[in-house]
Amino acid sequence: MKAIGYVRVSTDMQERDGLSLDAQQETIKNYCRAMGYELVNIVMDAESGKNMTGRPEFQRMISQYVDKRKVNFIVCTNLDRFTRSQKDFLIFVDDYVKKGICHLALVREHMNTESPTSLHAIRFAALFAELERERISERVSSTIQYIRSQGGHYGKVPFGYKPVKEGKLTKLVKHPENYPWLEKMAAWYREGVTFADIARRLNDAGVKPSQSPQWTQTSVYDLLRKERIHAARSEQDTTRVYDRTRAYNLAYALKVDGRTLKFIAEKLNDAGLRPSKATHYEWYSVQELLRSAVYHDRSTAKGCAKYWKAQGLSLNEIARKLAENGHSPKRGGQWYAQTVKNLLIA
């Protein structure tokens, strides 16, 4: 059996708690030796574990090793090193574990999805990991809210300012050298200079941004928007509202009914809805809305059907996939396009 190790660390505290990259690697090596697995590689991410999409090494591991069936196991020290998202874990189970493509082994929890008993236990562990993540997020959010309510600053220091300590709080004051450039940017913008030209002028003058090597059209746009010098079109339009859940539910219902993306866009606009960064829906923004579907419980036939429909599969294709995944209609028999449609609207 071949295995690949995956390790992740995001804070200094985790290093102090014995979850540093080196400690995780050693634990994985020892586990593979004990189990007789051939460890082909260990990949490492030093980023947040909120979800799988923001971790480049994780994505590389899946595409280059798991999808190509070069390994039988992914070995991690703990579940929260793999993911804290129950959604991501269940998708991994559906896409890889159930199909026998790859299993997940968790060293410190003594769990391995190759064992049905462990698989059920990990499902609960994933749920609790997500709840813990949400509790941490709530604590961090309340702390940030308190800091800002006291006039303090939390996060990266924007261009034009510098941090100063006032007791336990960090506050921002105008940077003596950079703030005048921020005022120039505002003046250029009001004169009608484009974001790209503002970036070019700053780079030509040797002005360095706070978070990147040089100015770009995007970095100028983001700064002027944060400073409330520029208002996005979506912020200027008060006739429509951004309500992603309402938009998704309406778009989804129309898509199930067989409506085109253009038709759905018109209906969303008629309902007074808009995307987050535009004044109105177009066919492509409807497509993106449906593709970034809210999570459906893929342990049920209806949840699977909704998920696949949001991914653009036809009713016949969904019928075939439901049968392949062991789901049966409530009244028995086979899946057909009509029974899938009835399931979706039930």
pLDDT at 41: 95
CA 218 to chain centre: 21
Does one domain contain both 273 and 309?
no
Return phi, psi of residue 126, to 5°: -65, -40
| DSSP code, position 239 | S
Q: Residues 119, 10: one domain? A: yes
**Of 126-140, 182-196, 321-335, which has the strongest mean pLDDT?**
182-196
Q: What is the pLDDT of residue 17?
A: 47
pLDDT in tens, 180-228: 999 999 999 999 899 999 999 999 999 999 878 899 888 898 899 888 8
Q: What is the pLDDT of residues 282-302, one digit of tens each?
A: 888 888 887 765 556 667 888
| Range scoring the smallest mean pLDDT among 50-64, 99-113, 129-143, 266-280 | 129-143
Q: Can you state the percent helix, strand and coil of the chain, rounding each to 5?
A: 50, 10, 35
Rg (CA), the chain: 25
**What pLDDT, on a 0 to 100 scale, did the predictor assign at position 21?**
74
Q: Where are the beta strands (DSSP E) in the chain?
A: 2-8, 38-45, 73-76, 103-106, 111-112, 161-166, 169-174
Q: What is the mean pLDDT of the chain?
A: 82
146 domain residue, yes or no:
no
CA distance 110 to 122: 10
pLDDT digits (tens, 9 = 90+) for 106-130: 998 888 888 877 777 776 666 666 6
Domain identity same for 167 and 223: yes
230, 261, 278: which is the final residue of a domain?
Answer: 230
- pLDDT over 70 (residue 79): yes
One domain for residues 60 and 173: no
Give the model's pLDDT for residue 181.
Answer: 95
What is the share, in percent, of the chain residues with pLDDT greater than 90?
24
CA atoms within 13 A on the CB side of 133: 18
Examine the domain organization and report whether 21 and 108 are in the same domain. Answer: yes
Return the higher-pLDDT residue of 282 and 84.
282
Burial of 326 from C-beta contacts in 10 A (0-12 / 13-18 / 19+): exposed
3-state secondary structure of 166: strand
Residue 110 lies in a domain: yes
Quote the strand ranges of 77-180, DSSP E. 103-106, 111-112, 161-166, 169-174
Q: At residue 35, does pLDDT exceed 90?
A: yes
- In percent, the amount of the chain with pLDDT more than 70 equals 85
Neighbouring residues of 187: CB distance < 8 A, sequence distance ≥ 6: none
Domain for residue 15, yes or no? yes
The amino acid at residue 102 is C
- Do 39 and 127 fall within a single domain? yes
Asked whether residue 144 is domain-assigned, the answer is no
Same domain, 221 and 257: no
11-30 residues labelled b (16+ CB within 10 A) or e (exposed) = eeebeeeebebebbbebbee
Asked if pLDDT for residue 165 goes beyond 80, the answer is yes
| Number of domains comprising the chain | 4
Which tokens is 239 given?
């006739």
Over residues 27-38, the mean pLDDT reads 94
> Residues 107, 49: one domain?
yes
Domain region containing 266: 244-291
Shared domain for 170 and 188, answered yes or no, is yes
What pLDDT, on the 0 to 100 scale, is given for residue 16?
43
Q: Which residues pair with 38 in a beta bridge?
A: 2
Residue 227: Cβ-neighbour burial (10 angstroms; 0-12, 13-18, 19+): middle
| pLDDT value for 38 | 96
Q: Cα–Cα distance between 66 and 108 in angstroms, integer?
A: 22
Q: Is 256 in the same domain as 317?
A: no
pLDDT of 234 over the 60 cut: no
Residues 168 and 100 in one domain: no
Neighbouring C-beta atoms of residue 295, cutoff 10 Å: 14
Q: Are residues 282 and 329 in the same domain?
A: no
pLDDT at 40 over 90: yes
Burial of 317 (0-12, 13-18, 19+ CB in 10 A): middle
